[in-house]
Amino acid sequence: MSPVETPCNEHEQQIQENSRKIAELETRADYKDKRIDELNDNMKELKQSVNDLDKTINEYIIHSIKDDNSLKDYISSLENRVTTIESRQDTLYKLLLATPAVIALIGLIGAYIAFIH
């Protein structure tokens, strides 16, 4: 055996190699732990953003429902006005149709009175 390749030197080299590999693995593990922590932070931020978005959407839905109810009330009042106007128009139309008959009746009564005198 040569003095360089003694079993102690080989074991020492293996120990140093294993120590180097362990250090590399620890570095990789630390890096992965750091990345996992960053991902957890990002997930928390994402959850908060989703919660904020959900809250905003719910507020818009509530406002939309209120606006829809206001529009329904306004449309209902307009429908009532249209119905009232149509009723008045129908009444005026009937009065206009009855006017010639009333004039003719007055004329007949006037002729009868003139005939009697």
Please give the structure tokens belonging to residue 26.
Answer: 């620890």
Question: If we measure between CA atoms, which residue out of 65, 67, 63 comes closest to residue 75?
Answer: 67
Q: Has residue 3 got a pLDDT over 70?
A: no
User: Alpha-carbon distance 113 to 108, whole Å?
Assistant: 8
Q: Tell me the average pLDDT of the chain.
A: 90
pLDDT tens for 43-93 read 999 999 999 999 999 999 999 999 999 999 999 999 999 999 999 999 999
CB atoms within 10 A of CB 89: 10
Q: CA dihedral in degrees (56, 57, 63, 67; nearest 10)?
A: 150
Confidence of residue 5 (pLDDT cuts 50, 70, 90): low
Instruction: Write down the pLDDT at residue 45.
Output: 96
